[in-house]
Every structure is written in structure tokens, then in C-alpha cells.
């Protein structure tokens, strides 16, 4: 049995994979993905209230998910008066959403 893999590109180095795996693990939650999708489609920073309305999730649940996404560097937050506005800090993660959408479209076809 031939176990040689022919690749168009070299394999991703392990240090890179080790660095991004925890981020992917944190993002890989349905509500967190929904929050990213909403913020991406909104095109600008949004408040917790707006995110709650869009995701139909309660304030404590949304706040917990936002904290996780901020801690791993996916989202950023800035204070605007009495509100905190959340936006996507790492747009490269939006490629995950594109992959999910493409997979969903191909599976349904």
C-alpha cells in the first residue's frame, strides 16, 4: 500500500495548526457562529441588544458567548457611551462561514 500523499501545496506547519486549533474550537459553537454571521452581514459593530434580537438568545447567553469570542481574539469591543459595540477582530475567520455556507449549499443540491 502506497501511503505517499501528493499535495498541490506543502502541508500547514504544526506550529500554525497548534495556534489556530483553539480558536477554531472556540468558534465551533452554533450560537457563536450565528453571532459571527450576524456581525458579518451587519457590516458594522453592534450592541448586545442588537445581537440578542438577531440571534433570539437571552442576554446572559449572548454575553457569555461574546466574552468567549473576545477572549480568543475573534471579536473586539469598544464602549460608545453606555453601550458596548462588538465587531469582528479577525476577518479571516469569516472564511469558516463561507465554507459552512458552501457545504450547506452543495449538500442540499
Summarised one tens digit per residue, pLDDT across range 79-93 is 999 999 999 998 888
At the topology level, CATH places domain 14-108 in Arc Repressor Mutant, subunit A (1.10.10)
The structure's pTM equals 0.81
Residue 90: CB partners within 8 Å, gap ≥ 6? 23, 73, 74
Q: pLDDT tens-digit profile of 26-72?
A: 888 999 999 999 999 999 999 999 999 999 999 999 999 999 999 99
Which pLDDT score is estimated for 5? Answer: 58
- Contact status, residue 36 vs residue 97, Cβ threshold 8 Å: yes
| pLDDT score of 9 | 77
Examine the pLDDT at 20 and tell me if it is beyond 90: no
Q: Contact, 96 vs 74, CB < 8 A? A: no
Distances (CA, A) of 10 to 3, 7, 25, 27, 87: 16, 7, 24, 26, 33
Q: Is the pLDDT reported for residue 106 higher than 90?
A: no
Alpha carbons 76 and 67: distance in angstroms, whole number: 10
Amino acid at each position: 500500500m502506497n501511503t505517499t500523499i501528493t499535495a498541490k501545496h506543502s502541508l500547514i506547519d504544526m506550529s500554525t495548526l497548534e495556534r489556530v486549533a483553539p480558536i477554531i474550537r472556540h468558534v465551533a459553537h452554533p450560537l457563536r457562529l450565528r453571532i459571527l454571521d450576524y456581525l458579518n452581514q451587519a457590516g458594522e459593530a453592534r450592541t448586545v441588544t442588537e445581537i440578542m434580537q438577531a440571534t433570539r438568545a437571552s442576554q446572559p447567553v449572548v454575553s457569555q458567548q461574546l466574552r468567549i469570542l473576545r477572549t480568543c481574539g475573534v471579536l473586539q469591543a469598544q464602549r460608545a457611551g453606555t453601550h458596548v459595540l462588538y465587531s469582528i477582530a479577525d476577518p479571516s475567520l469569516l472564511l469558516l462561514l463561507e465554507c459552512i455556507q458552501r457545504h450547506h449549499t452543495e449538500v442540499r443540491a
